[in-house]
Amino acid sequence: MMLDRVVGLLAPSLQGGASAARRDGAETVDRVVVDATLGLGGHAQAILSRYTRARLIGLDRDREALARSQERLAPFGDRFTGVHAVYDRIADVLAGLGIRRVHGVLFDLGVSSLQLDEAGRGFAYAQDAPLDMRMDQSSGPTAADVLNTYDATRLTRILRRYGEERFASRIAAAVVRERQKQPFDTSARLVELVRAAIPAATRRTGGNPAKRTFQALRIEVNGELEALERALPAAVDALAVGGRAVVLSYHSLEDRLVKQVFAAGATSTAPPGLPVELPEHRPVLELLASEPPTDEEVAANPRAASARLRAAERIREAA
């Protein structure tokens, strides 16, 4: 399972060496890992069960998911701390807890099973539901607000950028035209509009034609890429030497950001032509993995089909 690969990649940084300190015959809890996308706590439970020296800080912006994971992880006592926060607040959360360095950071990006499976959240285009799509339902504009207030130019831009939608301008024009008759409030009407706006020949392949539009709206509503742009460097900065960052992404925009941040950390910053590389120019990261799911993993969880697993290890402190 992909979960096993994710958890296994954290092993060297969370297990510690053979000379690990012990107290009263029990291992000391002296390893800190951040699950930046806690969700329902599946990864967190596996990490806490497998690595008995680990304390886990779990972040999630979804209050319902956080409440469920806190109940699930209650048996681990003070080895687990749940925090209601977006993952770009990693530095603030750790500072508030008095933690300077961590030994692992995990991101499992995208929409959680809870959000997809609860029709009322509006994430799934296969079910008619209110067009909400907020991961944190306590604040911010909904997908309906975006559809009903953005002009055609702005709608086209987010559909093209976040959904990589070829027919973004046609869909945006149709939204603006149709909302004048009646504002958008449920997903079924949007799905039908997208279907009608896309040429018939294109609709015959590639699954539900509304998939890219729903992805774009979700990313816009939750500010996902902007948050990830801030979160990844903060996660790298928080790692102790030997600590590892592991990221599961599910579409090319996320994966591109992860690849860029990891590649930058694994590249020397020495100016071209410098005869000797100074210590402060040496890479701070070593790349460990860039892997798609296996056929067995996709068969077990079809939602993993588009996943990309990347991992990197901190190999020196910043200058």
What are the binding residues for S-adenosyl-L-methionine?
A: 41-43, 60, 87, 108, 115
CA distances from 161 to 7, 19, 141, 221, 222 (A): 32, 50, 19, 14, 15
Q: In sequence order, what are the residues at sequence separation of 6 or more whose Cβ sits closer than 8 angstroms to the Cβ of residue 71?
A: none
CA distances from 263 to 4, 6, 242, 290, 315 (A): 25, 19, 17, 11, 14
Residues 214, 203: Cα–Cα separation, whole Å? 16
CA distances from 247 to 18, 42, 83, 140, 256 (A): 28, 15, 19, 26, 12
* Closest to 81 (Cα-Cα) out of 38, 111, 122: 38
Amino acid at 118: E
* Closest to 189 (Cα-Cα) out of 159, 213, 169: 213
Detail the residues annotated as belonging to a binding site. 41-43, 60, 87, 108, 115
Long-range contacts, stretch 75-83, CB < 8 angstroms, 24+ apart: 76/48, 79/29, 79/48, 79/54, 79/55, 80/44, 80/48, 80/55, 80/56, 81/55, 81/56, 81/57, 82/38, 82/58, 83/57, 83/58, 83/59
Is 172:146 a contact under the CB 8 Å cutoff?
no
Phi then psi dihedrals of residue 289, to 5 deg: -155, 145
Q: Is 166 exposed, middle or buried (0-12, 13-18, 19+ CB in 10 A)?
A: middle
